[in-house]
Amino acid sequence: MLGILFSGGKDSVFTTYYYKEQGWDVKCLVSLKSANPQSWMFHTPAIEMVKLQSEALEIPLVFHETKGEKEAELGDLGNALRAAKEKYNLRGIAVGALLSDYQHERVNRICHSLGLKCFSPLWHKSQEKLLREIISLGFDVRIVGIAAQGLNESFLGRCVDKDVVDTFAGLNKKHGFHVGGEGGEYESLVVDCPIFKKRIELLETTKILENENTGRLEILRAELVDK
């Protein structure tokens, strides 16, 4: 009886894919919408899309909101996980964490306090290797947030393909850019993958820029369509 801490980005969707392929009983997705775009814990761009992703996956969603205040948001996460545990009789929570000790340690601590096992199948994996694997499996990953030298408006909404990964790898060598976006360089949204029953079509979007290298893709309209 497993729940997935779910942001809708490539890592949490791939974690869902991983456990479904392994035959685990994935009972629900747990998502938190933070009012703070600089949240220490939670992915914020396009977070509302988790509702469509939940439908596409045919996995129920436990959706909570948080003000996103540092440390206080951990209490909100605990409440969401407790509600999910009680509703779906969960025994464990899986997270898509790659590198962040801050997130990893805190989620582990909360799970332990709730009597839940915490699984991190992607922890410390090669970011470039993992991203190339995700793409090779047929994941359609879009960039919905940027915040790094070397990225610009043209990357917002772009599909992450081999060329994009090559660009990220080059930026890694030049600037220490995290290919998996673990330093906040970019945020992603999965609009299709092998375990989606339908895919998400982005019907209307707009790009909101803070400066040349920082911005987000706001999704104004989207819908599920047959594959």
Q: Are residues 115 and 131 in the same domain?
A: no
CATH of the domain at 104: 3.40.50.620
Whether 74 shows a pLDDT value over 90: the answer reads no
Q: Which residue has the tokens 């009983």?
A: 25
Q: Are residues 85 and 16 in the same domain?
A: yes
- The last residue of one of the domains, among 94, 119, 144, is 119
Q: Are residues 103 and 136 in the same domain?
A: no
Q: Are residues 147 and 39 in the same domain?
A: no
CATH of the domain at 182: 3.90.1490.10
Whether 20 shows a pLDDT value over 80: the answer reads yes
Q: Are residues 109 and 138 in the same domain?
A: no
Q: Are residues 110 and 204 in the same domain?
A: no
Whole-angstrom distance, CA of residue 146 vs CA of residue 130: 20
pLDDT mean over 111-133: 95
- The last residue of one of the domains, among 72, 101, 119, is 119
Q: What is the full DSSP assignment across 31-95?
A: EEEES-TT-SS---TTGGGHHHHHHHHT--EEEEEE---TTHHHHHHHHHHHHHHHHHT-SEEE-
Q: Are residues 139 and 97 in the same domain?
A: no
Q: Are residues 107 and 136 in the same domain?
A: no
**Predicted pLDDT of residue 40:** 60
Q: Are residues 109 and 214 in the same domain?
A: no
Q: Helix H segments across 123-197?
A: 127-136, 162-175
Range in 35-39, 99-103, 171-175 with the lowest mean pLDDT:
99-103
Query: pTM of the entire structure?
Result: 0.94
Whether 100 shows a pLDDT value over 80: the answer reads no
- Can you give the residue range of the structural domain that contains 50? 2-119
Q: Are residues 30 and 114 in the same domain?
A: yes
Whole-angstrom distance, CA of residue 145 vs CA of residue 75: 26
Count of domains observed in the chain: 2
Whole-angstrom distance, CA of residue 69 vs CA of residue 114: 21
**Predicted pLDDT of residue 112:** 96
